[in-house]
Each structure stands twice: as C-alpha cells, then as structure tokens.
Amino acid sequence: MLERLHKILAHAGYGSRRACEELVESGRVTVNGRPVTLGDKADSATDDIRVDGRRVKAEAKVYYLLNKPKNVLSTSSDPYGRRKVTDLLPGVRERVYPVGRLDADSRGLLIMTNDGDLAARLTHPRYEVAKTYEAEVVGELSGEDMQKLISGVWLSEGRTRHSQIRLLHRGKDRSRLEITLREGRNRQIRRMLAKLEHKVRSLTRTRIGPLTVKGLGPGQFRPLTEGEVRSLVKLSQERPEGDAASEVRAKAKAHGRRPPAETGGAAAVQGAGKRQDGKRFPRPDRAQSARTPGREQGGKRFSRPDRTRPASVSGKEQGEKRFSRPDKARSGRSPGKESGGKRSSGPGERGAAFKKNRRGSAGSGDGSKKPIRRGPAKGPRKSETGRDVSEFTF
C-alpha cells in the first residue's frame, strides 16, 4: 500500500513525522536508488527505502490491550505534558496509538496498535463493534429510565441507537448498570444519563468485542494473541445486518414513514417490486372506467366520447368557431364598436372636444385669457375673532 515517505519513516521509528519530513528534505532518503522529495509515496513492502544508505525495514504490526486508569489522556501526544496512554507502554518501540478514545475521567480497555486499517474499521460506525461499560450513577434508576436508555435518548446530534442495558444494582442513593453500545459518540453514556437527571460517578469499559478486562489491573497491558487479532479482523469485516435492518424499520416507524418492503414472496407481488432476476413483477389488470378510458389493448388510446354543447352555452361551434355574440344596443355613453368593426368616435375626438370645452370656460374665443379665480369666495378673510386677516401672508 502506497504511503507518504515521512509516515513510513515515522512508523519505522525514525522520529516524529516532522523530523522525518526534515530527513526527506535534506536528501538523505532514497527509494529504489533514486532521491525523493517531500510528498512522494512508496510501498514499504515492495520498495527499497533507505536512509543514509541503510535500508528501512518494514515495521511489523503490533497489537496491545491496555487497561487505562483514570486521569490519563487517550492520545499519543499532548502539548501540555500531561500523562497519556503511550506513557504506560514502556519498552514498546513501535509507534502505536489508541483505537478510539476514553475520557480522562473514565477507565477501562483500550486497544493500542500501529495498524491503521484495523483501527479505522474498529471505530467506524458501519461495523457496529460492540463495547460494554459499567456505570455507577447517583440516585435510583426507574423502569421508565431503563426503557428510555434501551430505546434511545435524544441528544444534540440526534437520537442514540438501540442499547443493551442490564441492571446490576438499584438503590436509593446509587445504582449500577451495564450498558452495551454499538456507536461511539463523545461522552455518550454520561450525556444519556444526564438527560435522565442521573450523574455518573464512575464509568469503566469492560469489553471490546471478544476482548475483556479480566486479568488486567489498572495501568497494565499485554500483547494480543494471534487468535484475538484474527477475531478483531473478522469482526471489523462483518456487519450485523439483522440489527441494522431492524433499526431502519424502527426509525421509519418513529418518523411516520412506511418501512421498506421485503423482497420475494407475496410481499413482493403485492408491492409490485422486483423479482430475484432483477425484473419487475407484472402489474395486475385494472378495469378501465368510463371516466378515464385509458388505452386499448393495441396500445392506442380509446376515442373520447362525442360531447355536444348545450344551446344555452355560448362556447365554440362544432366547426371550432366561436358562436356569434348576441346583438347589444350600444349606449351613447360608451358607444363601443360599430357594425363595420370601427369605433364610432375615437379617443382623440372625444379628448379634443373635452379640451375645447375646458378652454372655453377658461378664456374667450378670440384667444384672450381671463384670470382664473382661485381661493376663497369674494370678501375679506376674517379670523375666528372677527379680525380682517386678508393682508397677512400665510
């Protein structure tokens, strides 16, 4: 598999990725006898990669199981110098990192490896790798609380998936339960129980797939056996179809949608779905109604029935011409059109007559104009007190 050279060198123990980038930039790295530049890729299994003339050996894949104690970070580097999980693996020369994460205030199992492909599969929600936790909470868990945890709790990013819950202890002051999840949201169990108004006092991961915490004390680790590695590889390649299908149906029912129909058998015939050979089932015969005649058996449409319009409706004639409109006597006010198709008097003529009458009221026929009186009637203007105010300007 092709990988960037600085990543291959970092996995082989030549330092951090930044230090390995400097090795490539300085020209000290060659691939198959040729110098390389930053960003080049190579296959550590087939290519001859050398640093200062010495061949880089392909790093062997290693797998460890760690029981992380409390107040330890699930990371391989921390800028503040806090304690991290890689500090708990003395003597491990390979560059390993945790698969997934655990909160600093949580404890339990972590897989440490340098196998990136397996780590990506184990953490991908598609493969639904089961992880089991033991949680101790404040207060007494009721049956309603248990049912909500099983069916799912609404968080800010959506509803959680179906969970397996087993009550280990119930008391007035505290309760202890076992939770199995198939997804890995950030601080999921703590947030789920906080929605039910129960504070988590302690949280421990006790199982990852077939691996258990049995035999490992806090801070201890051990290498995985070949059988355990094969089990993890097989687990990361399989998907529990039954659980996924039931979850899809449950989500569809919760949102008011119809769940997808099952293929094959009578259900497929009723739904007119597809057969096993990929072809669709034939549609059942449907009797054509008189209202929607549809098509004939030859593929042509049925002829539409003749429809005669009643005489009272003035629509179109049978020859696709409009019926003649009844004669209407035009009034003098709105003369309309004459029989020849022209208006009796155009708007220009009427407008000219209107303007002429208006001019006649404003002036004389010889063109001289008379002043037009505007304002109040004749006589002096008086205020409410009776004083003459005509000489004032407002």
Task: State the CATH number of the domain containing residue 48.
Answer: 3.10.290.10
Q: Which of 364, 12, 169 is nearest to 23 (CA)?
A: 12
Residue type, 76: S
Q: Average pLDDT for residues 247-251, to the nearest whole number?
A: 50
Q: Confidence band (pLDDT; 50, 70, 90) for 343?
A: low
196 located within any domain: yes
CA distance 71 to 76: 15
**Where is pLDDT greater, at 99 or 258?**
99
Decide if pLDDT at 394 tops 70: no
Residue that is last in its domain, among 39, 55, 71? 55
CA distance 224 to 382: 114
378 located within any domain: no
Q: At 374, list the tokens.
A: 């505007």
Q: Which of 117, 359, 132, 125 is nearest to 233 (CA)?
A: 117
Instruction: Identify the domain containing residue 144 by its residue range.
Output: 131-208
**What is the count of structural domains for the chain?**
2
Residue that is last in its domain, among 156, 189, 208? 208
pLDDT score at 382: 54
78 included as an active-site residue: no
Q: Confidence band (pLDDT; 50, 70, 90) for 390?
A: low
301 located within any domain: no
pLDDT score at 119: 86
pLDDT score at 331: 47
103, 105, 115, 243: the active-site residue = 103
Residue with tokens 């972590």: 110
Residue with tokens 């099952």: 262
Residue 203 burial by CB count (10 A; 0-12/13-18/19+): exposed, middle or buried?
buried
345 located within any domain: no
Q: Confidence band (pLDDT; 50, 70, 90) for 66?
A: very high
113 located within any domain: no
pLDDT score at 31: 94
pLDDT score at 221: 96
Decide if pLDDT at 337 tops 60: no
pLDDT score at 377: 55
Contact 23, 14 (CB under 8 A): yes
Residue with tokens 């290519």: 47
Mean pLDDT of the residues in the chain: 74
The single-letter DSSP state of residue 288 is P
Decide if pLDDT at 245 tops 70: no
Q: Average pLDDT for residues 321-348, to the nearest whole number?
A: 52
277 located within any domain: no
Residue that is last in its domain, among 187, 208, 229? 208
pLDDT-wise least confident of 102-106, 144-148, 348-352:
348-352
- The winner for highest mean pLDDT among 122-126, 293-297, 338-342 is 122-126
CA distance 205 to 132: 6
93 located within any domain: no
Q: Confidence band (pLDDT; 50, 70, 90) for 30?
A: very high
176 located within any domain: yes
Q: Is the pTM of this model over 0.75?
A: no
Q: How many CB atoms lie within 10 A of CB 273?
A: 15
